[in-house]
Amino acid sequence: MMPSALGGCTGPVGSSLAGGSARKARAQWEFQHYFLASGARFRYHPYGGQGRAWTKEMQRFYEAHRYDSRVGYVVKNLHTGVYHALFQADRLFMGGSMPKPMIAAMLLEKRGGALSYEEFMHAVMVCDKSVNSSWMALQARLTGTDEAAFDAKYHLPTSHVLANQLSPRFVAEFYERCVNYRFDHGGEFLLEAMRRDQYGFGRLFLPRTVSYVGGKTGNCGEWDHESLFFYHGNVPYSIVVFTSGDFSPGKMNWPIAALIGGLFRDYVAVSPSRTILEEVRPAIRSS
């Protein structure tokens, strides 16, 4: 959102005003008066689905591995709050770089949205190219008390962001708070920063009509993850995939892209007729 689009914002919207439009207006006011006024800027443009062809090989891989014991995932409608698919959704995984946007969100909460130029640029860099030195700089400004207060205030599921232990459900719930502007501070900045993630493979198999997409990846050792939030038509969704046990050997993230593409086709593109409260199938141990 550029300043010209926000020219009508003259002051913060009072928190007593109800509804998503008031929350969004406040987030946009903060974006202009804190982020842009600091002199910080994004380094890349946002981009959407890439529309790659969905092949029989991809479909076979998805069907063979969607219940792999190394995998956990969720598909959530961020407007209704309905989960359309969950598999090992509450399992804690070592997050790799996945917690970086959450670290930025916690600092925005702690600072009331008003980060310094240096802090905003660190937040930009952890979201666009997952810069580790910026991650450490932001995390050094936070404590366990900050994390506990953040999780309690926004009723987030159990995870341990500062200790890098996250679940698929936690990430989807974080995106739900972002997309619906439920965080008191930094909402517009976080959305726009995550739309500029440069490393995701999940967008490869989303259709080109999905133009509004953001997310984060996480890779470290045996752990490889990707998460997305996006609009399909006018409806916001999130797909979050966590994996362990070298599910994507050599960091060839097309296996995760295949899972995301398959979940999109099964649970988003076809408008599921039922709600899955919890996936009851047992994990299948990979051979």
Q: How confident is the model at residue 11 (pLDDT cuts 50, 70, 90)?
A: very low
Q: How confident is the model at residue 248 (pLDDT cuts 50, 70, 90)?
A: confident
The yes-or-no verdict on residue 43 having pLDDT over 60 is yes
Residue 9 lies in a domain: no
Residue 274 lies in a domain: no
**Contact call for residues 198 and 42 (beta carbons, < 8 A):** no
Residue 116 lies in a domain: yes
The yes-or-no verdict on residue 281 having pLDDT over 90 is no
**pLDDT (0 to 100) of residue 268:** 97
DSSP string, 86-142: EESTT--EE-TTTTHHHHHHHHHHHTTT---HHHHHHHHHHHHS--HHHHHHHHTT-
Query: pTM, whole model, 2 decimals?
Result: 0.89
Residue 144 lies in a domain: yes
**pLDDT (0 to 100) of residue 274:** 47
Higher per-residue pLDDT: 274 or 198: 198
Residue 7 lies in a domain: no
Note the maximum CA span of the chain.
60
Q: How confident is the model at residue 287 (pLDDT cuts 50, 70, 90)?
A: very low
The yes-or-no verdict on residue 285 having pLDDT over 80 is no
Structural domain boundaries enclosing 57: 22-267
Residue 79 lies in a domain: yes
Q: What is the CATH number of the domain that holds 197?
A: 3.40.710.10
Query: pLDDT, tens digit, for every residue of 47-106?
Result: 999 999 999 999 999 999 999 999 999 999 999 999 999 999 999 999 999 999 999 999
Question: What tokens appear for 107 in the block?
Answer: 């600092």
Q: How many CA atoms lie within 13 A of 197 on its CB side?
A: 28
What's the number of domains the chain is made of?
Answer: 1
The arithmetic mean of pLDDT across residues 32-46, rounded, is 98
Residue 284 lies in a domain: no
Q: Minimal CA–CA distance to 206: which of 267, 273, 271, 257?
A: 257
Residue 194 lies in a domain: yes
